[in-house]
Structures are given as structure tokens and as C-alpha cells.
A and B are shown apart, each in its own frame.
Chain A
């Protein structure tokens, strides 16, 4: 087999490049460094949440993780996410017994007998990151806004603290931070998702009851979830374009 000079230079060059690249990858892997993510392009994403009521066990891991990750005040009146326990007797879906002791932060103490004939389940709650968000609509200065990737965010350096958005949210997802006197709410752990990480609540859910998904990414597993389950949003009559999709949402939940 004869190799002319042109072929020799070409293949040797290719081997050198591949070897150098491989060495770089191995080196980076061994050193434990996180590979640099591609620059985050907000317009290329459209974030949504999927919540599976049938998987939620009310452990409160998500609430604790959220408060720790996002420096949410520990008092029982401030939550970016919380968990509710519903207890519905037979057909009486208009009058469920609902509780959420400390937002579910400490889990749920046993309260109902197993054989009382009622159905009991947990509902994790979070900002719905509505596409037609009433809170964004009413903000007088635009301090709260929808980012190009579909996350409702707050600019704390701009918020007046007028509280109109708190009134406008049909889901009770906003509170005024007593330390900054500005509004605060779930931002889907924006500092994490833009780095390719999961929100703290999703990361810490032991049963996979919470899922974040990019609706613009056709390969995202959220599409399979939405295809395979009968999903519903909270208070659909509000027509807010809610992007928190629930599987197993009982008619008593509001």
C-alpha cells in the first residue's frame, strides 16, 4: 500500500486533532471541572412545570429546598412553593378540608384515619408562570415581567412595593418580602435553569412529582408527560395561560 505525501499529511493532521481533543476531554473530566455550557439563549426556551399529584407524598422536601436555595423568609406567611393536603369526602368536592401546616415545610402530621372513606392527596403549589399573567399586566412600572423563555420574574431594584400584583395573582403565589419591601415569588430557580441545572424543588423531590420542561425543545421529556397523562391547570376559568400542568388534579382543588 502506497501512501503519497498528501494523504500522509492529511491523516496525520486528523489524528493529531482528535487526540488533542480527546486529551482535553479526559483532562477536564479527571480534574472534576464542569464543562462550560453553551451560552444560554433565553429566546430558545419556553419553560413549563409538570406536577404529578399521584406521586406527591407531602414530605416537604421541595418547600425546604426552595426556602434554603432562594433565601425565602422562614415565617409561615411567605412561600415560593408550598404543599397542600386535600381531604375530600365522597362527592362533596365543593367543600374539601384543606390544610398546609407551615406550607408543608415540616411535612404533614397524621390527621385523617385511613378508613374514613374520604380521599386524601397532596397538591404541590408554585407560581404558574402564566403566559398571560395578570400580575405582569397590573404592575405599574413593569418591575415584574415575562422573560423571553416564559418565566415570570421580578426586578427587585425596580419594584415599588404597591402590592397590586399580589392582589392580581389568582393562585396566591406572591408575597412581600419583609426585608426588602418588594414582591417576591418563584422564579423557577432562574439562576439554576439558565445554567442547565434543575430548580431546587425539582432536584430535591424524592418521587419525581415535579418536573420542569422546555416546551420549545422537542426532545424534552415534558412532551411525553403531557402526551401520556390527562393534565389540567389550576383555575382554568381564569384564562391566564398557566404553565403549571397537573396530572391527577381532583375537581376539588382550587
Chain B
């Protein structure tokens, strides 16, 4: 009996229980989304901790982007669980030897202690001023957001600044923890040679930084364009430079992993090599390596080496950023789905059949990728990142003072 028809797609021999894939496209989204969170936060910390003043226009946008995506990050996991109603048990009775059991704690720490607190501290003055300047329900909303604080004296703002600075400093290792941990989830599975490498957390981390920087850069350019406002080119040029550097490290790490595997050629190599040349060829070689890594790297290198016009640079950054996001998504796909296409007997291969309008199908996956942008749109309306342009009513009296 084979009601799912999966057995027909098996080539060679698989252990019978392996025929059906365990982790679907939703689990591909999980590292992709948390990667964007970690990367966006690292970009924000460039300005705050490393004093790269040029990227300041994207500081708040990066934090809000990280928050929007972090809110969505656990949703694909919840949708995937056989018993989502039991997931809270991970907080109540965590199994200490399980990497996965740490997810809830790492997530909560990052969400509440790092991101929400840092955003609140950075926006506190704006929130108080917005509460003072607005009327009715809007006023009440901002008063709630201000959590009762109304003091925006120089001294209190200095405290905000100092605490915020400290939070960013602990935020960087936290962002590393958040995404390095996701890499560890895969890298520590010794049963699966496609995943099991100590490089996995590091590769995940650098690809996260790359994808987060690319996303915030694109969001910044898109929002400025849609609002009909000037794009701060020194800012975007600086982001593109860090984007390029991070990408080189990421590429070097991935190549190190690849060369190591090819040269060592252990018992799993023939099987994995076959897979990369067949079932993963398009997503791994064409999309991830070709148009998702080499092409954007070449474009970014061009912008660094040749003096291009502003319009050409904008086009190059948009193209490189977009391709990179596609490439990093393909990388997550190749890790998660690719790691389940071959048998642990190294004798056969199965196929991932993605459904459409099911709980773990393509439709909820698309919805989960759109959702953070809707949340971000709401956050940007609530907490304008460029108050001097968006809410002159609260910045004007300051300027006059």
C-alpha cells in the first residue's frame, strides 16, 4: 500500500520510514527568518557599537525589521508541530540535553531583553512626544507604549542612551547565539552527514548577516523610493561595503565546507555528490551558488572596484540584494530539504512533494513570508524611523528649543 504515491519517487533503497520527509518548507522558513533577524540586528549594531555613523539612517529600520521578522519566527514551527498545543511544555519541562529545548529561552531572551527593550529605549522620547502631540485613541495608545514614563529630560535621555548602548553590546552575542543556535540544531545531528559539521553554526551565522544586511538595504531603498524621498547614498554605499565583506566570509566558509567534503570523500560522499548533481542541481548549483552567490558577489565587487554613477549603483545594489535573498533562501532549502532527500543508508533518494493549500504547504509558507512585511508596515506607522521627516509636529519644538 502506498496511498501517498511516494514510493514511486524513491530511487535506490531507503529505509522504509525515511520515504516521507519529516521537515517541510516551513522548517526552511525558520532558519531563513531568524537569519534575517540576526543579520538586521548586526547591521543596527554597526552604528551603535562600532560607530559606523554613515549607516545611521537605517538604524531604527533595521531594529524594526528584526522585530517584525522575530515575531513571525516561531509561527512556522508551531504550524509544523504535530501537537502545537503542547509546545509550551518546552518552557515548563525543557529537556536539558536537547538543543531544540533551548529555542524558547533563546527566543524569549532575544525578543524581550534585547530587541523590544532596545527599541523602546531608543524610541522612548519619540513616544512621549507623540503622546503629547496627539489626541484621542492615538494619544492613549502612545501613553500605553510609553509605559507611564513622561520624563524626557537630558539626564533621563542620557540614561536611555547608556542602557541602550549596553543592550546592543549584549545584543551582538545574543544575535550570534540566536542564529548560531539554529545552525547547531542541524550541525549536531551526527546521523546526517549533510548537516553534521561544526562549520554549520558559523556558516548559518554569516549567511544570516549577509541576508539581514541585504534585506534592510533593500527595505531602506524601497521605503525611501515609495515615499518619494532621497536615498542617502553614502549610507547605502557603506551598507553595500559591509554586505560585500560579510558575503566574502560567508562564501569562503561555504567553499571550505565544500572543498573539505570533496577532498575527504567519506562514506557519505558518493551519495551526497550524486544528490547535488541530480535532485539538488537546480537549487544548489544554479540558484544558490550561481545566481545567489557568485553573481551578487560579482556585482558587489564591481561596485567596489569601478566608479559607477548613482543610478547604476542603486540598480546594482537592488539586483545584488534581491539575488542574495533568493540565494540564501535556496541555501536554507538545500540544507533542510536536501538533508532529507538521501537515505541514511547512502543507497537511495526520495523526493519532496510540496503541497499547496495544506497546513505545511506552499500557501501558508508564502503567507508567513508576507506577514513580517505587514507587521513591519504597522511598526513603521506606529514608530516612524525618521521622525524629522515623518512627524514634524514632534521634532519642530525640539528644533526651536
Contacts and interface: CB of A to CB of B under 8 A. Distances in A.
A216 interface: no
A173 B17 contact: yes
A74 interface: yes
Interface string A75-105: 1111100101000000000101111101100
Interface string A164-186: 10111111111110001110000
Contacts, number: 138
A196 interface: no
Interface in A132-167: 134, 136-142, 158-164, 166-167
Nearest to A99: B13
Interface in B283-328: none
A96 B15 CA distance: 14
Given A98-B13, A169-B191, A172-B345, A77 B82 contact: no
B18 A172 contact: yes
Contact of B83 (A98, A137, A160, A167): A160
A243 interface: no
Given A168-B191, A170-B190, A79 B90 contact: no
Contacts of A64: none
A74 B1 CA distance: 8
A138 B186 CA distance: 11
Interface stretch (B67-75, B93-101, B215-223, B368-376): B93-101
A164 B17 contact: no
B89 interface: yes
B22 A167 contact: yes
Given A77-B17, A134-B191, A141-B95, A170 B100 contact: no
Interface string B1-31: 1111011000001111111101100000000
Contacts of A99: 13
B93 A141 contact: yes
A240 to B, nearest CB: 9
Contact of B17 (A84, A172, A180): A172
Contacts of B100: 138, 140, 162, 164
B95 A78 contact: no
A120 B77 CA distance: 44
B249 interface: no
Given A75-B2, A141-B101, A166-B22, A160 B89 contact: yes
Contacts of A182: 82-83
A172 B95 contact: no
A238 interface: yes
B95 A77 contact: no
A77 B20 contact: yes
A254 B191 contact: no
Contacts of B94: 140-141
B191 A161 contact: no
A125 interface: yes
Give the interface size class of chain B. 35 or more
Contacts of B197: none
B86 interface: yes
Nearest to A184: B17
Nearest to A180: B82
A98 B19 contact: no
B17 A139 contact: no
A163 B23 contact: yes
A254 B346 contact: yes
A140 B4 CA distance: 29
Contacts of B4: 75, 77
Interface string B260-299: 0000000000100000000000000000000000000000
A172 B384 CA distance: 52
A94 B265 CA distance: 13
Contact of A171 (B19, B93, B344): B344
A158 B344 contact: no
B81 A160 contact: yes
Contacts of A82: 15-16
A227 to B, nearest CB: 30
A141 B100 CA distance: 9
B191 A174 contact: no
Nearest to B13: A98
Given A77-B6, A140-B95, A161 B16 contact: no
Nearest to A142: B95
Contacts of B93: 141-142
Contact of A158 (B20, B23, B89, B185): B89
Given A160-B82, A161-B83, A182-B83, A141 B90 contact: yes
B242 interface: no
B251 interface: no
A176 B22 contact: yes
Interface string B322-352: 0000000000000000001001111100000
Contacts of B53: none
A64 B37 CA distance: 50
A141 B89 contact: yes
A176 B82 contact: yes
Given A162-B100, A167-B192, A141 B86 contact: yes
A103 B7 CA distance: 12
Contacts of A138: 97-100, 189
Contacts of B90: 140-141, 160
14 contacts: A76-B16, A84-B13, A138-B100, A140-B90, A162-B77, A162-B80, A166-B17, A170-B191, A170-B344, A171-B15, A171-B344, A172-B344, A181-B82, A181-B83
A-B pairs with lowest CB-CB distance, top 9 = A161-B82, A172-B15, A181-B82, A170-B191, A140-B101, A98-B13, A142-B95, A163-B22, A140-B100
Given A103-B16, A170-B191, 10 more contacts: A100-B13, A125-B15, A140-B94, A140-B98, A140-B100, A141-B95, A162-B82, A164-B185, A238-B191, A254-B346
